[in-house]
Structure 1
Amino acid sequence: MAAYWNAEPDRFAAVRRGIRSTALYRGYRGTWEIAGGRLWLRKIEIDVEHSTDGKIIARDVIREVFPSGIDPVASWYSGTLIIPRGPIARFDRIEQEALFERYTLIRIADGRVERRLDMEGEAFVTYREAQFQAFKRTRAYQQAFEKARERTVDQMIDPQLFDSQVDSYLTLNDPPAVPATTGPAKSRSDR
């Protein structure tokens, strides 16, 4: 939604009325649906205090943001959605990181589904590692590395950058139709 809010800052007023917390740092929850080969925004919920009993309740403000009455196609969004699926296959208590049985990656361009890729959990781990190696060849990596170098020793930088940057890099870049290094994967177009 950040790209939309940047293009239409006045529409963010409805969201600003919501309660923010560490559990809801953006101030809203979006409910999305992929239907008919498009990414649709179905709800924008903010947390507000109930007027009579003071409890926190969710309030849908999508009609204040999009008053036409028609749920919008997210034409402002281009990127790759990463959807964990199935039960947790492995959980690292130290890193607080879960590996799910399967993952679905859906490439969106201007709100339209371009491609869907399904892969097993271990294949996703390999895929993320390959994406990090690609990220390391970018200017963004070099800048992040130099910034991290100011506060930590060199051998700790890559693990920190992997944890903090790889998923952002992954969501902004197009997944391959069938990754050569990720093991069992299925690809299909959703056009």
Structure 2
Amino acid sequence: MSSASSASPSEGAESSEAPEVSAHAARSAEEMLDIVDADDRVVAQVARGEAYARGLRHRCAFVLARDPERRVFVHRRTGTKLVFPGMYDMFVGGVVGAGETYDEAALREAQEELGVSGLPQPTPLFRFLYEDGAGRSWWSAVYEVVCDRPVNPQAEEVAWHAFLPQEELDRRIGTWSFTPDSLAAWARLRARG
């Protein structure tokens, strides 16, 4: 597999938290988010940590990053992530900051998580309201982008990564632990054809 990190998918899952990673997690918890209603209208702004602790609905951008051969960027989240630590994801992305648009967040998050600059604006595909049944929900805007640059993911965000053929990704979904929101987005994307 080209473009893979040197670590195997199982390495580093239990790594100890470095001070700079702890600082990153603290900064993430303080980031301000727009809180939205069931119709995706902004009703308040709070810190990310508070939004998560109180189960407040917010916004996220999901970007399916493919290489020029159409392989999908798949990664394992670090164990220090505030949501779904240590799990796999076939999307890059994250929360939409307070006052930020979905489009702005999609490009920012894709460049940050892939560790590249100069990506084209990701193409919007669809939006959906993700609800986990346990009080967590977020409006999710799903995008796609082709990354023709060498990736250098942020160590504080990504523990392992590789560009996988879609057929291999589909096989891995049954054996690797993927984030439930990425599985929901992937199922909707696959249903669209």
Q: Which interval holds the TM-score relative to the shorter structure? A: under 0.3
Structure showing the higher helix proportion among its residues: 1
TM (norm. structure 1) is 0.22
